[in-house]
Structure 1
């Protein structure tokens, strides 16, 4: 199925949860990540149960450190 992540079309398997998507995208830590789906912020407590749907528009922000 196709979704949009930060305005880029991305193909993912059907019935992917937010948690599965983040594990797919980030092999390292998931700390410092904020995610919104269709302009609604998804709290971390819902990542495992929130299933993605075709055409969802995801905004993904990952905090970085450095200077």
Structure 2
């Protein structure tokens, strides 16, 4: 198991895990999301290649449209 902090809350996932896998598991596919890992923005183009590690701190923001 892999323990990650997501928006300040500890969550456990089965390893290995990439940012793309995480987006899928959190049901965020197709949504406009910004992900920060340990203080650095993860570019969307690198989601599939960015492996997550035990203790990573993630901040995930989902863009919401409206008017």
Using the size of structure 1 for normalisation, the TM-score is 0.90
Which position in structure 2 is the counterpart of 1:45?
45
Which position in structure 2 is the counterpart of 1:56?
56
Using the size of structure 2 for normalisation, the TM-score is 0.90
Unmatched tracts of structure 1, length 5 or more:
none
User: RMSD over aligned Cα, in angstroms?
Assistant: 1.3
How far apart, in 2, do the equivalents of 1:21 and 1:36 lie? 13
Unmatched tracts of structure 2, length 5 or more:
none
How far apart, in 2, do the equivalents of 1:9 and 1:58 lie? 10
